[in-house]
Amino acid sequence: MSTTIILGAWIAVFLTLGIFSYLYKDNPFYKTAEHLFVGISAGYWTSLFFWTQIQPNLFGRLWPSSNYSSDSFWYMIYNGLGFFYSPGFPNGGVDKGHEIHNVVLGVPNVHYLIPFALGIMMLLSLIPKISWFARWGIAYTVGMAAGLRAYGFLNSNVIGQIKGTAASFSDPNLPFWSLTSPSIFNSIVILVGTITGLLYFYFSKEHKGVLGKISKVGIYFLMISFGASFGFAVMGRISLLIGRFVDLIKYSGSEYFNATLWILVAMIIILGYDAFKNRDKILPVSKDVA
């Protein structure tokens, strides 16, 4: 087995046990693992976003190789950028197979300057004096997302759900009782649950009398829903725990030089020594653990 794989296993074990050590209490192993995770994630994502979208889809459209001309002012800017960072701006333009829809003043696909400008505006948030520029980019993103979602939710979550769950009670083929397939009973449960659940969130009238009773039924429906969510959440967390345990067991083998055992023992000794040294300062366990 290569040294890289073995080293990777030791790092994986250290980070996993470092995160788990938080269940005992906050400690430097946990902090190291946490900070590494945040830092590496940010760097990794930035790099991936650049190489999967900005370079091929933005620069590839603004400076396509098919329109390259070393005399053009636009490509002179490109060559200047290439002088500083040639992997992102290779010689002769970016060749990612993009079509040229328009050329205005020597700039191909000129409309792509708008997302380019908005992206730069977002980065300007790093400079306090002109950080307000970032609002333009954020406004565009929020506006676009709101528009897209309004359509998506209306179509699938409102109309689609009503269409899918509405049942004709006069349909002779629809059975009265079935829990696993469409039935009159299921349709009644959905109808009652939806109406009572919605009425629970109706705050324009005090929840007394009939409205109080109906909204109480709504609470029961909500509680059942939250209970199911909690159950699934527990199941998910246990699955992830199983995944980590499987890896820890794998890395405890002799081919990985018993990485799990060594790191576990080292952590227990260090944390135990720390607890012994600071036995007079032991604080009660924080309630937000778990």
Residue 130 C-beta: closest distance to another protein, Å: 25
Of 67-75, 201-209, 213-221, 243-251, which part binds another protein (CB under 8 A)?
Answer: 243-251
Of 67-75, 120-128, 142-150, 199-207, which part binds another protein (CB under 8 A)?
Answer: 142-150
Q: CA–CA separation, 26 vs 16, rounded Å? A: 15
Indicate whether 224 belongs to the interface with another protein (CB under 8 A). no
Site size with another protein, rule: CB under 8 A: 50
Sign of the CA dihedral 82, 86, 91, 95?
Answer: negative
Q: Identify residues 62-121 at the interface with another protein (CB under 8 A).
A: 96-98
Three-state SS for 25?
coil
Q: CA–CA separation, 236 vs 234, rounded Å? A: 5
Residue 209 C-beta: closest distance to another protein, Å: 29
Q: Look-up: residue for tokens 């079509």?
A: 99
251-257: long-range pairs with CB below 8 Å, 24+: 251/9, 251/10, 251/12, 251/13, 255/1, 255/6, 256/1, 256/6, 256/9, 256/10, 257/6, 257/10
Residue 170 C-beta: closest distance to another protein, Å: 20
Indicate whether 143 belongs to the interface with another protein (CB under 8 A). no
Indicate whether 56 belongs to the interface with another protein (CB under 8 A). yes
3-state helix, strand, coil in the chain (%, to 5): 70, 0, 25
Of 28-36, 46-54, 213-221, 262-270, which part binds another protein (CB under 8 A)?
Answer: 46-54
Indicate whether 229 belongs to the interface with another protein (CB under 8 A). yes
Indicate whether 220 belongs to the interface with another protein (CB under 8 A). no
Contact between 22 and 286 under an 8 Å Cβ cutoff? The reply is: no
Interface positions with another protein (CB under 8 A): 23-24, 44-45, 48-49, 52-53, 56-57, 60, 96-98, 144-145, 148-149, 152-153, 155-157, 160-161, 163-165, 180, 225, 228-229, 232-236, 238-246, 249, 285, 289-290
